[in-house]
Each structure stands twice: as C-alpha cells, then as structure tokens.
Amino acid sequence: MTEISDSLGGLIAGYRRFRETGWETERERWATLQASQSPRTMVIACSDSRVDPAQIFDVRPGEIFVVRNVAALVPPFETTPGRHGVSAAVEFAAGFLKVQEIVVMGHGMCGGCQAALTQKLHGQEPGSGGFVADWIAMLDEVRGPIARELGTEGRAAERAMEHAAVKVSLANLRSFPQVREKEQRGELVLRGAFFAISDGLLYLLDEQTGEFQPA
C-alpha cells in the first residue's frame, strides 16, 4: 500500500474522530441527507485554509452550499467558452436548490486580493501564476482607485481591496439574470461579509453605506 504522509495521516486521524463523534451522533441526519440536500444558504468563500465557512458559521451537514476559490470571487455572467465552475455552482444553488441567501465572504490577509493589488503575478504563464493573475484580474477595475489613494502595500490598502472584492462579487452575482430576477422578486437575498482573521470577527456589509459592520 502507498505510504501515508504525515499530513494525510493527520487527516485520517481526524476522519476517525469524525466517524466516532460527528458521524455517529448525527447518524439520523446523514440518513435524511442521503436522499437529498436542501441548504438554505450558499456561501462563497476563499480557498484560504483559515476561513472555512462550516467552521466559522458552526453549521451542521447539509446547511450550507459552499464554493471556495482564490479570493472568494464570483465572475460576471459570461457565455464565453470555458469551464465556468463558479457560474455552474451559482446556477445550481439558485435554480435547483433554490437557496434563499447567497453570502459572499471575503477575509483579512487574503493572498489573492494582495496579488490583485500588487499585480505581482501580472504577465506570468498559466501554471506559473498566470491562472491566478487572470482570475484576480476581475478586480483590476476597483484596484485602480485604491492603488492611487492608498498605494499597493500595507493593511489599509489591502483591506480596502479585500472589501472591494466582496462588492465586485456581489455586483457580478447580480449580472446573472436568474439571480437578479430572484432578488427583485424577494426570493433571494445577497449579502456581503468579511471575516477578520486577526481577531476572528465577522463583519456584514451594509450596501446602503458601503461599510462593513460587526455582525
């Protein structure tokens, strides 16, 4: 048998704890979930290892439908050829699962947002930073004013970028006709959120003021 690495070994140990505690105690719930899922909320978060939505929101299996990617971004509604993974998930969540809320959760110390700000991966080949560069280029438009006002280094500029990224994703979500129409009919609520890693606090975006307030 292939040797198990230390990191996988740690995960397998966690899996055994899960089988004894998480799975066993929620057995009935798993049996129900076996047939179907009906999460009420979709969460779009960063792939960053420090911002696991299930952990932060302390939810049980079946409660949230999650997409995680670099910088927690939603691309605009595009019909160009390509593998539109996030769009597929949004389409599925809104159209089939009929979630009632979509939460876009950005976070502090986000490497993806930092790269968008510094543009340090600009011009890299796919596989050598180019995929990330291309992905976070959707923040280029909001980057300009931030870089001019606050520069491209330091927490003030980075946090402004992290907050702006959440707003870009919300705007892009609304470019999906299905999402926009559901929101207008009151069937779907879009929310921006921000998790500050340094103090473990969650902030919610007030779209009227554009400010993030402690939840």
CA 195 to chain centre: 11
CA distance 190 to 215: 15
Among 46, 64, 104, 117, binds Zn ion (CB under 5 A): 46
Q: Does 158 bind Zn ion (CB under 5 A)?
A: no
Q: How many helical (H) and strand (E) elements, i.e. helices and strands, does the chain have? A: 10, 6
Q: Per CB under 5 A, which region of 2-10, 107-115, 130-138, 178-186 contacts Zn ion?
A: 107-115
- Of 164, 9, 209, 147, give the one whose Cα is nearest residue 72: 164
Q: What minimum distance in Å lies between the beta carbon of 55 and Zn ion?
A: 15
Q: Per CB under 5 A, which region of 21-29, 93-101, 102-110, 153-161 contacts Zn ion?
A: 102-110
| Cβ contacts of 179 within 8 Å, gap of 6 or more | 90, 94, 102, 173, 188, 190
Q: What minimum distance in Å lies between the beta carbon of 106 and Zn ion?
A: 7
Q: Does 205 bind Zn ion (CB under 5 A)?
A: no
Among 48, 86, 114, 116, binds Zn ion (CB under 5 A): 48
Q: Per CB under 5 A, which region of 34-42, 86-94, 108-116, 169-177 contacts Zn ion?
A: 108-116
List the structure tokens of 38: 């009906």
State the amino acid at position 6 in one-letter form.
D
Q: Does 103 bind Zn ion (CB under 5 A)?
A: no
Binding site for Zn ion (CB under 5 A): 46, 48, 110, 112
